[in-house]
A and B are shown apart, each in its own frame.
Chain A
Amino acid sequence: NFMLTQPHSVSESPGKTVTISCTGSSGSIASNYVQWYQQRPGSAPTTVIYEDNQRPSGVPDRFSGSIDSSSNSASLTISGLKTEDEADYYCQSYDSSNQGVFGGGTKLTVL
């Protein structure tokens, strides 16, 4: 089964840059699009990155996504951190049968 692995938590100071990784267990992570979702407590997730590196309208350009085929991983980078960025972040993709797959989520603390 295809799995996505994320760090459980990351923390950084306001104004700094943080990168959250998402590593695929098998196959090529580049075979399907990777998405990133932000989830605040008590709310449904919202897309911050889709199609590996595209930002929905309304998402600031401080958010960026990338794929590294050599490490079979995707990354979400948030620059100029703000306290409002504190949330859980999930990577998501699909396996070879088009079944959805979520990473375990990363809790971002901005302190």
Chain B
Amino acid sequence: QVTLKESGPVLVKPTETLTLTCTVSGFSLSNARMGVSWIRQPPGKALEWLAHIFSNDEKSYSTSLKSRLTISKDTSKSQVVLTMTNMDPVDTATYYCARIRRDSSGYYLVDFDYWGQGTLVTVSS
């Protein structure tokens, strides 16, 4: 079955760089109709999309966070990595990775059909 699992630090200091890893199973990162997204949710607040990556290395980033984010993948390890620089207390959130699908035409993006359990990252000195 399809699973995604986030891993990384639970606590980072302000100005530090956060590195999160999403390890997937049950599908391949080389599948052209599947990709992986990162989404975060501050405590008690709404979901916020951060970035996604597809098999052809197509990447997209949130405009407001683009300068701080880098997404990459290692297909052989079934892992997607997100780095976020210059962390601030407002970046405290649960960070999720999720599988994103394309529709049957292969053109349009559809839903995040499988999600990891999420990992709470707290930014504090």
Taking a contact as CB atoms under 8 Å apart, the answer to whether B115 and A50 are in contact is no
A71 contacts partner chain B, Cβ-Cβ < 8 Å: no
**A102 touching B103 by the CB < 8 A rule?**
no
Q: A47–B113 contact, CB under 8 A? A: yes
B37 at the interface (CB under 8 A from A): yes
Minimum CB–CB distance for B1 against chain A, Å: 14
Report how far A24 CA is from B30 CA in the complex, Å: 33
- B110 contacts A104, CB within 8 Å? no
Shortest beta-carbon distance from A54 to chain B in Å: 9
Majority secondary structure, B binding face: strand
Query: With A and B bound together, what is the CA distance between A15 and B113 in angstroms?
Result: 28
Instruction: Please name all residues of chain B whose beta carbon is closer than 8 Å to the beta carbon of A27 when the two chains form the complex.
Output: none
Interface residue count on the A side (C-beta < 8 Å)? 25
Q: Is the CB of B118 within 8 A of A44?
A: yes
For window 41-62 of B, CB contacts with A under 8 Å fall at 46-49, 52, 60-62
Q: Which of A81-111 contact B (CB under 8 A)?
A: 90, 92, 94, 97-105
Residues of B within 8 A of A94 (CB): 109
Q: Which residues of B contact A45 (CB under 8 A)?
A: 47, 112, 115
A98–B100 Cα distance when bound, in Å, is 12
Determine which of A32, A44, A100 lies in contact with B49 in the assembled complex, contact meaning CB atoms within 8 Å: A100
B76 on the A face (CB < 8 A) = no
Q: Given the interface contacts A44-B115, A98-B60, does A103 sit within 8 Å of B46 by beta carbon? A: yes
Q: Are B109 and A33 in contact (CB under 8 A)?
A: yes
- 19 A-B residue contacts at CB 8 Å? A1-B63, A35-B111, A37-B47, A39-B47, A44-B96, A44-B117, A44-B118, A45-B47, A51-B103, A56-B113, A92-B47, A92-B112, A97-B60, A99-B62, A99-B63, A100-B37, A100-B60, A102-B46, A104-B46
